[in-house]
Amino acid sequence: MATDDAPLAGKVVLITGGSRGAGLATAHRLGSAGAAVSLTARDLAALNAAVDGLLADGIRAMGRVGDVTDPTAMDAAVTATEQEYGGLDVLVNNAGIGRYGPVAEQPPDEWRQVIEVNLLGVFHATRVALPALRRRGGGQIIAISSGAARQGYPNMSAYCASKAALEGFMRALAAEVEHEPIKCATIVPGGILTDFGIRTRADREASMSSGAKYLEPEDVADAIYYLLTQPPRAWTQEMTLWPR
């Protein structure tokens, strides 16, 4: 039962790409508010370490290795979550990758991989989560996009295209479920201080001396918490989140 100290008590959240970065920060934020969190990730060691850290903080947490590009793995993640916690209330589509290079030189398989993870991965997870949310009587689906969906960057054609398509998918999904108690939201953040693509967190921190600005993973987690604690009458469909 939700309380002032645990406003998300009784809620169950599945986070893809949950072993690090914004996904793990979100697990800590929501878990600290009383939610039970279920994480998926491809790296077993990182996933186990993430779950161990959450459990040590008193958060109800579980993990299941799974690749979002594998529909069977996403189905298994949802099933395991329901079996462990009795249902599913929230899906956070956080998993994503970046592969960079000029259009004329980037290998087609590399370009395709970005689309498969960043776009098809969201479809696979959402497709199997929807029936679980309906069994629960409603819920929320949140996807993490990028400022790259709105602004073209050189050598990032696959990433920009995948995130722009993701936003189109989420708008269509929102229209599809508009008469159900299911909210669909997209967060569009600027750069985040994480290890992502070919740059590490340390690389990004070093660039701040030259004026670069970044969000912390916790900023994204706080935005997700805000979406989940809005009253039922309120719906934020898209949220832009820029560093200052």
- Give me the active site residues, please: 159
Backbone angles phi, psi at 15, to 5 degrees: -120, 120
Q: What are the respective helix, strand and coil percentages of the chain, to the nearest 5? A: 45, 15, 35
Collect all residues with Cβ–Cβ distance below 8 Å to 97 and sequence separation of at least 6. 113, 114, 117, 118, 197
CA 95 to chain centre: 6
Q: Which helix (H) or strand (E) holds 228?
A: helix 217-228
Q: Domains plus CATH for the chain?
A: 12-241 (3.40.50.720)
Q: Which helix (H) or strand (E) holds 46?
A: helix 44-56
Collect all residues with Cβ–Cβ distance below 8 Å to 3 and sequence separation of at least 6. 9, 34
Helices (H), 116-214: 121-136, 157-176, 201-207
Of the candidates 77, 154, 67, the residue with the CA atom closest to the CA atom of residue 118 = 67
What 8-state DSSP symbol labels residue 239? E
Of the candidates 233, 227, 163, the residue with the CA atom closest to the CA atom of residue 13 = 227
Collect all residues with Cβ–Cβ distance below 8 Å to 45 and sequence separation of at least 6. none
As averages over each run of 10 residues, the pLDDT of the chain (244 residues) reads 85 97 97 98 97 98 97 98 98 96 96 97 98 98 96 95 98 98 97 76 76 90 98 96 94
